[in-house]
């Protein structure tokens, strides 16, 4: 598994042979002020056949938006704290 933020990083992870890619930041975080959002997330997801996990800024208020993505799941440290 590995993380990516754009198409070149997705391709790098594929070359590294990962089977799962964390795509971030899905939503705004205190460290990243630029989010992918649902549309850009889905567009980036189309660039790979690997399984994609949404990462970054996951909160109760945006869980419904995750259902609109092509992700197989989500991860978020602050969501579970």
pLDDT tens figures, 50-78: 999 999 888 888 889 999 999 999 987 76
Strand segments, DSSP code E, in the chain are 2-4, 20-23, 51-55, 73-75
pTM, to two decimals: 0.86
Q: How distant is the alpha carbon of residue 2 from its chain centre? A: 11
Domains recognised in the chain with CATH numbers: 2-74 (3.20.20.70)
* Model confidence pLDDT, tens digit, residues 16-47: 999 999 999 999 887 778 899 999 999 999 99
Torsion sign across C-alpha atoms 68, 57, 19, 43: positive
């Amino acid at each position: 598994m590995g993380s990516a933020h754009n198409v070149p990083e997705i391709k790098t992870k594929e070359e590294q042979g990962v089977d799962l890619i964390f795509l971030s930041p899905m939503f705004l975080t205190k460290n990243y002020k630029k989010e992918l959002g649902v549309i850009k997330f889905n567009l980036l997801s189309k660039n790979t056949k690997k399984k994609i996990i949404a990462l970054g800024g996951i909160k109760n208020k945006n869980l419904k938006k995750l259902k609109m993505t092509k992700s197989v799941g989500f991860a978020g440290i602050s969501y579970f704290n």
